[in-house]
Amino acid sequence: MSHSFTAPWWARNPHLQTILPVLTKVPRPKLQRERLELPDGDFLDLDWQQTPANGEPVLVLIHGLEGSAQSHYARRMLLECRNQGLAAVVHHHRSCSGMPNRLSRSYHSGDTEDLAFSLRHIASRFPHSPLLAVGYSLGGNVLAKFQGEQGEHSPLTRAAVVSAPLTLSACAKRLEKGFSRVYQSYLLRQLQQKLRAKIANPAMQMPVSADKVDSLNTFKEFDDKVTAPLHGFTGVDDYYHRASGLPFLGRITSPTLVLHAADDPFMTEAVIPTQAQLSGAVHYELYPHGGHVGFIDGGHPFKPRYFLERRVLAFLTDRS
Give catalytic residues, as residue numbers. 137, 264, 292
CA separation for the pair 180, 265 (Å, rounded)? 6
- DSSP per position, 125-156: HSTTSPEEEEEETHHHHHHHHHHHHHGGG-SE
Task: Give residue 29's Cα distance to chain centre.
Answer: 19
Alpha carbons 244 and 164: distance in angstroms, whole number: 10
**H or E segment and range at residue 48:** strand 43-50
What is the C-alpha to C-alpha distance for residues 72 and 26, in angstroms, rounded to an integer? 7
The Cα 90–Cα 69 span in angstroms is 6
> What single DSSP character describes residue 277?
G
Exposed, middle or buried, 274 (CB in 10 Å: 0-12/13-18/19+)?
exposed
Q: What does the chain come to in residues?
A: 320
Environment class of 23 (CB within 10 Å of its CB; exposed 0-12, middle 13-18, buried 19+) = exposed
The residue type at 105: R
Q: Report yes or no: 136 and 162 within 8 Å, Cβ to Cβ.
A: yes
Alpha carbon distance, N-terminus to C-terminus of the chain: 8
In the beta sheet, which residues pair with residue 35?
A: 45
- Indicate the SS3 state at residue 170: helix
- Cα–Cα distance measured from residue 255 to residue 317, given in angstroms and rounded to the nearest whole number: 11
